């Protein structure tokens, strides 16, 4: 009886340790069905005109050629819409090399809100021409890959997560870093 109980406990322990955790599901906007990363970030002490100036400089750095940023003001909020790109770590020779995104940045005194969506991965085929796949077609239709391991799906998903994180980090860094020494009225120009 002790042997059976011991074997049962060992079997349960072994199965529990063998089960690997999956990567977290991607955030999907239920209204659009698109993978969407959104958040509100405080920027204490940064006035709205400085946030807008910094956001425009950032937009010119990450923006896609021939797709200039769109800036509007609505109810006291400056809104910047940018079609941007972020390099991706390649998983192998035929894996995506860049992440394209559309981001809406809403700027208010002391904070900003971002929404990254329309995430598209660029891959170069054997002829040297780019092909594009939406993140939804790559990641939503399949179950999340394992958090550990070296499978193509795991490496691709981690490279995607890293590229999105880098794009959001670059945006944040640009918005909290002064462009120049502030004038006496608090503006940076």
What's 27's domain CATH number?
Answer: 3.30.530.80
Please check whether residue 5 lies inside any domain of the structure.
Answer: no
User: Which domain does 91 fall in, by range?
Assistant: 23-176
Does the pLDDT of residue 120 top 60, yes or no? yes
Please check whether residue 62 lies inside any domain of the structure.
Answer: yes
Does the pLDDT of residue 186 top 80, yes or no? no
DSSP 3-state assignment of 189? coil
Report the domain count for the chain. Answer: 1
Tell me the whole-structure pTM to 2 decimals.
Answer: 0.81
pLDDT in tens, 29-57: 999 999 999 999 999 989 999 999 999 99
For the chain, helix (H) and strand (E) counts, in that order, are 4, 6
Rounded average pLDDT over 17-29: 78
> What is the rounded distance in angstroms from the CA atom of residue 16 to the CA atom of residue 12?
6
Q: What is the pLDDT of residue 65?
A: 87
The pLDDT confidence band at residue 136, using thresholds 50, 70 and 90, is very high
């Amino acid at each position: 009886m002790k042997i059976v109980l011991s074997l049962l406990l060992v079997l349960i322990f072994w199965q529990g340790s063998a089960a690997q955790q999956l990567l977290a599901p991607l955030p999907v906007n239920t209204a659009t069905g698109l993978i969407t990363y959104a958040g509100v970030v405080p920027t204490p002490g940064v006035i709205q005109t400085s946030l807008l100036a910094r956001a425009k400089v950032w937009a010119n750095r990450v923006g896609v050629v021939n797709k200039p940023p769109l800036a509007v003001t609505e109810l006291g909020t400056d809104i910047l819409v940018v079609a941007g790109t972020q390099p991706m770590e390649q998983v192998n020779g035929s894996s995506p090399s860049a992440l394209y995104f559309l981001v809406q940045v809403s700027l208010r005194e002391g904070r900003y809100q971002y929404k990254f969506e329309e995430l598209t991965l660029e891959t170069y085929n054997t002829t040297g021409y780019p092909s594009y796949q939406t993140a939804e077609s790559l990641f939503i239709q399949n179950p999340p890959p394992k958090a550990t391991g070296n499978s193509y799906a795991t490496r691709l998903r981690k490279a995607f997560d890293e590229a999105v994180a880098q794009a959001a980090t670059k945006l944040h860094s640009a918005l909290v870093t002064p462009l120049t020494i502030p004038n006496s009225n608090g503006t940076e120009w």
